Structures are given as C-alpha cells and as structure tokens.
C-alpha cells in the first residue's frame, strides 16, 4: 500500500502467522537471544511522514533527522543504512549522500524522490546511492530495498572480518628476525593490533618503526581501510595544518579548491605520524583536540567534521625530556602513549643481522634479475661485529652496495662499505650468542639459507609452491632441501 502524507500505514514486517503466533507458547519462550537490530537513519523534513516512517520500520533501531545538520549529528556511531529524501526544504539529500561517500562510503544510502523525477534518481545513483525509491512509497518495495541494503552491509562486514582473521593469524613477516627481542615484538603487535588504542612507537632512527605501525594496522579491524604515513619533520609548519586537516576553497592565497586532509582521507583507517617529537607546539594543541573530540576543522571552515582514525605515532626522541624542556605537551604525550612499543636497535638482535642481510640480498637480486649471492664467512663476521648506528636502514644500504660490486656468487669483505671495516666492534658482537671461535664455525651459507627458506615458508602458511615462487627456485629443489633438513632433525 502506498504511503504519502498522513495516510495510514500497512506494515508488512513482523505479521503473525500460523507458524509464528502472536502469543508465544512455552516452546517459543525458551529461545536464543535475538540479534541486535540494525540501525537506520531516516532523514525527512516532513515531521508527520518522518514519524510514520519510524513506525514502518519495527525491526530496525531508527534514528530521525529533519535536516542535514541533524543528519550529520546522527552519524556517530555510524548507522547500518540511511534513508533520505532528496528535497529537505532549502537543502538537498544529495549533499548528505556526497558527505557520506567521503566519511562513511560503506554505508548504503536509499534516496526517496518524487514520482517521475528520473533525472534526480540518476544523479543519486551516480553520486553513490545504493538504490532510489519513488513517492508515494510502497512499503513492500521499501522493505525489500532496505533488506537488500542491510544484507549487503552485513556481507561486507563478514568479508572484512574474515580478512582480518587471516591477518591476525599470519606472521608479522615484514619484521624479519628470530631473536628474542623480535619474537617479543611480534607477540606485542599481535596483541595490540586488534585494539583501537593509540600507540607510541619508539626507537632509534632506521630500526623499522613504520614497519611496526603497518603491522599494527594489518592486525587491526581497520586493515581493509587506508594506512597513511606522514613525517612531521618533513612538512613546513605553515602547510602542516592544511596537510592534516584539509582546507576550504579560498582559505588562503593558494587554496583555489577544497582539499581533504590526511585525517579525512584516512577515515576508518590508521594514520602514522612519524617524528612526532618535531611537531610544532601550536599543532600539538590542535592534534590533542582531535584525539579528544574525534573531530577536525578544515582550514577556513566554520564546522567540525567527525573522523574515526587510529593514530600511531613514532619518534627517536626522548619525549619526556622534551616535556621537561617545554617543547612537547605533557597532555598530548599521555594521549599518544597509551601503549608504548620499543623497537630494538639492530646491534641488540644478534644473528638477525645475517638473516636480514640475506633477505635484502635476495630482494635486490630479484630486482636485478640475477642469482642471490651468499655471505662469505669473513663478510658475515664483519656484519656481526659492526655496531650499526644506522640500524636496519644502514644494513639495507650496505647490502645494496655489496650486491652491485659483487662479481661472483659470494659477498666478500671487499664488497662491503669501508666504514664497516673501520668501525669498532659492537658490544653485542662479544656476547656469547654471537661470539664465534673461528670462521669454520660460522657456516653462513647453509645456515642462513635454511633459516631464510623456513621463514619464507612460514610467512606463506606452509604453501611450498608459493614459497618456491618467492624464492625463485625449482619446487623439487625446495622439496629436497626440506626433506633433507627434516631427516637431519630426526637423526
């Protein structure tokens, strides 16, 4: 039955039948708890029709809005679906649709249009509407369209949950290593990743803080959304506010068009703020407000925009010392440092140095379309003894130089950068875990190859064919190696 103005509604949802009587029997009173109702935001400027529509959706938790301002305020927490009229007095439901496409693109939007207004319906579909309905409304059509929209939303969430489950149970394969420090880091990332807490990642330059941030994102419910990284020290202070929060057209001299900042671009995802210790004090106050209010205000705008972003910050500086010097806000530190992750320097990771070196050599060799060279015993010893002030980044650059200069199947001492030969031995090199009595005891070729292959195999979930493809070796060769190592372990 069509619905228009103040007409009575015939609601087809929830009608009793012989299979589902109105008065429950004892059999019906003992049942599983009902799933939570889906949330539907209804936007309509006719108060009477708005109330009628709210009663027409008994199986949904309905939020009501009579204009765009009320609709935007009702978007937190995000509803499961939106039903909006196109004509909202002087405003347009298409503006709400475009806003939703920016801030919550996964929410299906059903647009109500006047009968025969085909051009408006086409505009709505082009703007991203899930479906359109013509007035006067037919409740059976409304029910079917809304059911389809909610089912689509449910399936999208289920797919995201499955993907997230895969990510949570896969290894943090970007963080290569087997040392106790790296194993502990893997466990911490797996525990902290699924939460929504802010994280402060600390460690020396070049230790891989951004890799930790990406691993946290991959292990979170936000894994299917954007991951955005910004180096706070690389953006001039005059441009930093616009970069983070965006701006309206005409906000300043060069602002010819409207621009969405990184917070809006990353809505639903993870924003990684590197070198947070270099953030100017004025921007620290604005960032604190964002973390507290979960809203941003673009430059030149009079209105706030709600955002849902997880912030992971990183620094190599001592933020507590900066607080004491008045160069970093203590209240912002408390907001950022909900969970602290310390990334160990390379010199404290023992034999991970050789594993990382061989990993870099393999990647570089693949790029150069050549076979992967191995480390000679003396070259491996030098790598273990070097203090690595530049950490993993320095090791990667050293391996790039070595593979370019190497003219054989082995990286020799002469292929390594001279600074590695002049450097004083790392304190870790004298530790029992890495101290080797002579070159013959090092055996880097077989041991490093075995560890690297097993780590690749673990990273791909034990799929031997996939591991062989990544390693660029024949599958039979890989199978023979694995079988031989298995027999040696048993023997």
Give the residue among 225, 248, 239 at the shortest CA–CA distance from 297.
248
Cis, bond preceding 51 (omega within 30 deg of 0): no
How far apart are alpha carbons 467 and 460 in whole angstroms? 7
Q: Report how far Cα 367 is from the mean position of its chain's Cα atoms.
A: 27
Determine contact, residues 473/480, Cβ cutoff 8 Å: no
Q: What is the pLDDT of residue 207?
A: 92
Determine contact, residues 434/428, Cβ cutoff 8 Å: yes
Give the residue among 244, 239, 236, 299 at the shortest CA–CA distance from 273.
244
Most confident of 93-97, 123-127, 205-209: 205-209
When pLDDT is cut at 50, 70 and 90, the band that residue 250 belongs to is low
Residue 468 Cα distances to 362, 367, 375, 472, angstroms? 13, 17, 21, 6
Q: State the Cα torsion 363-367-369-370 to the nearest 10°.
A: -40
**Which range, of 63-72, 212-221, 306-315, 467-476, averages the lowest pLDDT?**
467-476
User: Which residue, chain included where needed, has tokens 């228009």?
Assistant: 4
Give the residue among 213, 224, 234, 221 at the shortest CA–CA distance from 336.
213
**Which range, of 6-10, 427-431, 452-456, averages the lowest pLDDT?**
6-10
Q: Report how far Cα 123 is from the mean position of its chain's Cα atoms.
A: 32
Q: What is the pLDDT of residue 98?
A: 87
How far apart are alpha carbons 60 and 82 in whole angstroms? 12
Return the higher-pLDDT residue of 238 and 443.
238
Beta strands in 339-474 (DSSP E): 339-342, 374-375, 410-411
pLDDT in tens, 141-151: 888 888 888 88
What DSSP string describes 433-456? TT--SSGGGT-HHHHHHHHHHHHH
Q: Is the pLDDT of residue 477 over 80?
A: no
Give the residue among 182, 173, 172, 171 at the shortest CA–CA distance from 348.
182
CA-based radius of gyration for the chain:
30
Determine contact, residues 319/274, Cβ cutoff 8 Å: no
Statement: 2-161 belongs to CATH 3.40.50.2300: yes
Q: What is the pLDDT of residue 427?
A: 52
Give me the residue spans of the domains in the chain.
2-161, 170-344, 347-459
pLDDT in tens, 376-387: 888 888 998 899
Q: Report how far Cα 63 is from the mean position of its chain's Cα atoms.
A: 30
The model carries a pTM of 0.57
Q: What is the pLDDT of residue 76?
A: 86
Q: What angle do CA 315, 319, 321 make, to 5 degrees?
A: 140
What would the CATH number be for the domain defined by 347-459?
Answer: 1.10.8.60
Q: Is the pLDDT of residue 323 over 90?
A: yes
How far apart are alpha carbons 234 and 228 in whole angstroms? 15
The listed CATH number (1.10.10.10, 3.40.50.300, 3.40.50.2000, 3.90.700.10) that belongs to domain 170-344: 3.40.50.300
Average pLDDT over residues 267-290: 93
Q: Is the pLDDT of residue 10 over 50?
A: no
Q: Is the pLDDT of residue 366 over 80?
A: yes
Q: State the Cα torsion 117-121-122-124 to the nearest 10°.
A: 140
Return the higher-pLDDT residue of 434 and 50.
50
Query: Average pLDDT, whole number, for the chain?
Result: 80
Q: Is the pLDDT of residue 294 over 50?
A: yes
H or E segment to which residue 59 belongs: none
Q: Is the pLDDT of residue 114 over 80?
A: no
Average pLDDT over residues 342-353: 90
Q: What is the pLDDT of residue 137?
A: 82
Percent of the chain with pLDDT over 70: 81
Average pLDDT over residues 94-98: 88
Determine contact, residues 66/45, Cβ cutoff 8 Å: yes
Q: Is the pLDDT of residue 301 over 90?
A: no
């Amino acid at each position: 039955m069509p619905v228009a103005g103040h007409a009575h509604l015939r609601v087809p949802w929830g009608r009793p039948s012989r299979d589902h009587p109105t008065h429950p029997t004892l059999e019906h009173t003992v049942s599983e708890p009902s799933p939570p109702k889906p949330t539907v935001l209804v936007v309509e400027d006719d108060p009477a029709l708005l109330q009628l529509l709210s009663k027409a959706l008994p199986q949904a938790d309905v939020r009501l809005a009579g204009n765009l301002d009320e609709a935007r305020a009702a978007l937190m927490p995000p509803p499961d679906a939106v039903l909006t009229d196109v004509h909202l007095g002087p405003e347009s439901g298409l503006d709400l649709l475009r806003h939703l496409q920016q801030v919550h693109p996964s929410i299906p939007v059903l647009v109500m249009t006047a009968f025969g207004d085909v051009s408006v319906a086409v505009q709505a579909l082009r703007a991203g509407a899930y479906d359109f309905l013509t007035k006067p409304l037919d409740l059976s059509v409304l029910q079917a369209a809304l059911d389809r929209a909610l089912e689509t939303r449910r399936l999208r969430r289920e797919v995201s949950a499955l993907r997230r489950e895969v990510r949570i149970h896969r290894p943090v394969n970007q963080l290569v290593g087997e040392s106790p420090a790296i194993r502990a880091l893997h466990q911490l990332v797996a525990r902290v990743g699924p939460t929504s807490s802010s994280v402060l990642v600390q460690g020396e330059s070049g230790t891989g803080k951004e890799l930790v941030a990406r691993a946290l994102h991959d292990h979170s419910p936000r894994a299917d959304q954007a991951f955005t990284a910004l180096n706070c020290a690389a953006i001039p202070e005059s441009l930093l506010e616009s970069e983070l929060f965006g701006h309206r057209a005409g906000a300043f001299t060069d602002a010819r068009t409207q621009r969405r900042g990184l917070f809006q671009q990353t809505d639903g995802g993870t924003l990684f703020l590197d070198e947070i210790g270099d953030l100017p004090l004025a921007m620290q106050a604005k960032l604190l407000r964002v973390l507290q209010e979960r809203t941003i205000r673009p430059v030149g705008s009079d209105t706030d925009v709600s955002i849902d972003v997880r912030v992971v910050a990183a620094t190599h500086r001592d933020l507590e010392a900066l607080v004491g010097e008045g160069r970093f806000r203590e209240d912002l530190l408390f907001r950022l440092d909900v969970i602290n992750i310390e990334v160990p320097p390379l010199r404290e990771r023992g034999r991970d140095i050789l594993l990382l070196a061989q990993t870099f050599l393999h990647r570089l060799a693949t790029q150069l379309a050549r076979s992967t060279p191995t480390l000679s015993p003396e070259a491996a010893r030098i790598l273990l003894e070097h203090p690595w002030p530049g950490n993993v980044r320095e090791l990667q650059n050293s391996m790039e130089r070595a593979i370019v200069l190497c003219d054989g199947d082995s990286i020799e001492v002469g292929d390594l950068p001279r600074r590695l030969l002049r450097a004083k031995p790392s304190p870790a090199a004298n530790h029992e875990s890495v101290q080797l009595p002579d070159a013959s005891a090092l055996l880097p070729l077989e041991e490093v190859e075995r560890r690297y292959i097993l780590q690749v195999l673990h990273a791909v979930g034990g799929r031997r064919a996939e591991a062989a493809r990544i390693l660029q070796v024949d599958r039979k060769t890989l199978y023979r190696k694995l079988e031989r190592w298995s027999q040696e372990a048993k023997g």
